[in-house]
Amino acid sequence: MASISNRKRYNMRISGLGGQGVVTSAHILGSCMDNAGKYASLVPFFGSEKRMAPVEAYVRASTEPIYEVGEVVYPDIIMIYHSQVVTHGKSYTMPFYTGLKKDSLVIINTDVDVLEEEDIIVLNRLNARVVQFNATELALKIAGTELATNMAMMGMLLGLTKLVTEDDIEKAVRERFLGNSFVASGGTASLDSAIEKKFKKKEELLAKNMEVINKTFELADGIDLMGSELIINLEV
Amino acid sequence: MSIKDMTKEKNWSGQKLVSTDYLLFEAPREKHFMTGSEVTKEAIKRCTVDASVSYPITPQSEAAHLIGELWAEGYVGMYFRGENEFGVMSEVAGCAMAGARTVTTTSGPGTLRAMENFPMWSGTRIPVQLILMARGINSPLTIQPDNLEVTFMLETGCMIWYAENVQELFDMTIAAFTVAEMPDVHVPIVTVVDGFFVSHTREAVMLPADDIALHPYDPYAAPLPPIDSEMPPGRFLRDPFVMKSNYISYATHASWQWEVRSAVDRSRPYARHYLNGLAHVTGDEDAEIVFVACGTASNQAKEAHRELAKQGIKSKVVKLRTIRPFPHEELLAATKSAKYIFVPEFNIVGWLDKEVTQSLYGKSEAKIIGRPRVAGGMSMPVESILQEVFENTNAKGA
What's the pLDDT score for residue A185?
52
Cβ neighbours of A69 in B, within 8 Å: 165, 197-198, 201, 296, 299-300, 379
Kindly give, in sequence order, each residue whose CB lies less than 8 Å from that of residue B233, ignoring residues fewer than 6 positions away. B94, B97, B124, B227
Q: A196, A205 in Cβ contact below 8 A?
A: yes
Residue after which a domain boundary falls, among B187, B220, B253: B220
Residues B216 and B285 in one domain: no
Kindly give, in sequence order, each residue whose CB lies less than 8 Å from that of residue A138, ignoring residues fewer than 6 positions away. A152, A212, A215, A216, A236
Does A121 reside within a domain?
yes
Cα of B276 vs its chain's centroid, Å: 15
Mapped onto helix, strand or coil, the DSSP state of residue A84 is helix
Q: Does A181 touch chain B (CB under 8 A)?
A: yes
Neighbour-count burial of A235, counting CB atoms closer than 10 A to its CB (0-12 exposed, 13-18 middle, 19+ buried): exposed
Number of neighbours of residue A206 by Cβ within 10 angstroms: 17
Q: How far apart are CA B7 and CA B109, in angstroms?
A: 41
Q: Which domain holds residue B204?
A: 3-220
C-alpha neighbours within 13 Å on the C-beta side of residue B342: 30
Question: Structural domain tally of chain A?
Answer: 1
Q: How far is CA B360 from CA B60, B255, B266, B338, B356, in A?
A: 34, 27, 21, 12, 6
Residues B329 and B208 in one domain: no
- pLDDT higher than threshold 80 for residue B373: yes
The pLDDT of B153-164, averaged and rounded, is 98
Confidence of residue A89 (pLDDT cuts 50, 70, 90): confident
- pLDDT higher than threshold 60 for residue A186: no
Helix axes A22-35, A166-178, angle to 10 degrees: 130
Question: Structural domain tally of chain B?
Answer: 2
- pLDDT higher than threshold 90 for residue A217: yes
Taking CB atoms and an 8 Å limit, are B34 and A181 in contact across chains? yes
Q: Give the dihedral of Cα atoms A218, A96, B144, B342; nearest 10 deg.
A: 110
More confident of the two residues A7 and B280? B280
The pLDDT of B13-25, averaged and rounded, is 98
What's the pLDDT score for residue B271?
98
Residues B190 and B313 in one domain: no
Residues B16 and B154 in one domain: yes
What's the pLDDT score for residue A231?
93
- pLDDT higher than threshold 60 for residue A187: no
Cβ neighbours of B307 in A, within 8 Å: none
Does B35 reside within a domain?
yes
Quick one: closest CA in B to A74, which residue? B381
CATH of the domain at B113: 3.40.50.970
ipTM: 0.78
The pLDDT of A110-130, averaged and rounded, is 94
The model's pLDDT over A7-17, given as tens digits with 9 standing for 90+, comes to 888 999 999 99
Does A39 reside within a domain?
yes
- Using a cut of 0.95, tell me whether the model's pTM lies above it: no
Pairing of strands B16-18, B212-214: parallel
Q: How far apart are CA A140 and CA B167, in angstroms?
A: 40
The model's pLDDT over B339-358, given as tens digits with 9 standing for 90+, comes to 999 999 999 999 999 999 99
The model's pLDDT over B231-271, given as tens digits with 9 standing for 90+, comes to 766 666 667 777 778 888 888 889 999 999 999 999 999 99
Residues B25 and B115 in one domain: yes
- pLDDT higher than threshold 80 for residue B77: yes
Does A231 reside within a domain?
no
Residue after which a domain boundary falls, among B169, B198, B220: B220
Cβ neighbours of A40 in B, within 8 Å: 33, 203-204
The segment with the largest mean pLDDT, out of A94-103, A109-118, B20-29, B197-206, is B20-29
Does B262 reside within a domain?
no
Cβ neighbours of B316 in A, within 8 Å: none
Does B90 reside within a domain?
yes
Does B39 reside within a domain?
yes
Edge-first strand order for the sheet with B189-194 is B78-81, B51-54, B102-106, B129-134, B189-194, B159-162, B322-324
Number of neighbours of residue B240 by Cβ within 10 angstroms: 13
Kindly give, in sequence order, each residue whose CB lies less than 8 Å from that of residue B95, ignoring residues fewer than 6 positions away. B50, B51, B53, B78, B102
Buried b (16+ CB within 10 A) or exposed e, B69-89: ebbeeebbbebeebeebbbbb
Does A100 reside within a domain?
yes
Does B138 reside within a domain?
yes
Taking CB atoms and an 8 Å limit, are A69 and B165 in contact across chains? yes
Does A229 reside within a domain?
no
Does B398 reside within a domain?
no
Confidence of residue B156 (pLDDT cuts 50, 70, 90): very high
Q: How far apart are CA B215 and CA B200, in angstroms?
A: 30
Does B193 reside within a domain?
yes
Residue after which a domain boundary falls, among B220, B244, B273: B220
Residues B204 and B352 in one domain: no
Does A169 reside within a domain?
yes
Of B33, B65, B303, nearest to A68 by CB-CB distance is: B303
- pLDDT higher than threshold 80 for residue B228: no
What's the pLDDT score for residue A196?
65
The model's pLDDT over B318-332, given as tens digits with 9 standing for 90+, comes to 999 999 999 999 999
What's the pLDDT score for residue B397?
65
Q: Which domain holds residue A68?
A: 9-222
Q: B2, B13 in Cβ contact below 8 A?
A: no
The model's pLDDT over B168-208, given as tens digits with 9 standing for 90+, comes to 999 999 999 999 999 999 999 999 999 999 999 999 999 99
Least confident of A111-120, B29-38, B160-169, B246-255: B246-255
Residues B197 and B343 in one domain: no
Quick one: closest CA in A to B381, which residue? A73
Q: Does A180 touch chain B (CB under 8 A)?
A: no
What's the pLDDT score for residue A190?
60
Does A3 reside within a domain?
no
- Identity of the amino acid at B397: G
Q: B51, B77 in Cβ contact below 8 A?
A: yes
Does A175 reside within a domain?
yes
Taking CB atoms and an 8 Å limit, are A70 and B303 in contact across chains? no
Which letter does DSSP use for residue B392 in this model?
H
Taking CB atoms and an 8 Å limit, are A74 and B381 in contact across chains? yes
Residues B66 and B158 in one domain: yes
Task: Tell me which of A31, A39, A43 to substitute to probe the interface with B (most B C-beta atoms closer than 10 Å).
Answer: A43
The pLDDT of B297-314, averaged and rounded, is 96
Q: Quote the mean pLDDT of chain A.
A: 87
C-alpha neighbours within 13 Å on the C-beta side of residue A218: 9
Does B254 reside within a domain?
no
Residues B212 and B298 in one domain: no
Q: Does A217 touch chain B (CB under 8 A)?
A: no
Mapped onto helix, strand or coil, the DSSP state of residue A159 is helix
CATH of the domain at B323: 3.40.50.920
What's the pLDDT score for residue A46?
66
Number of neighbours of residue A215 by Cβ within 10 angstroms: 21
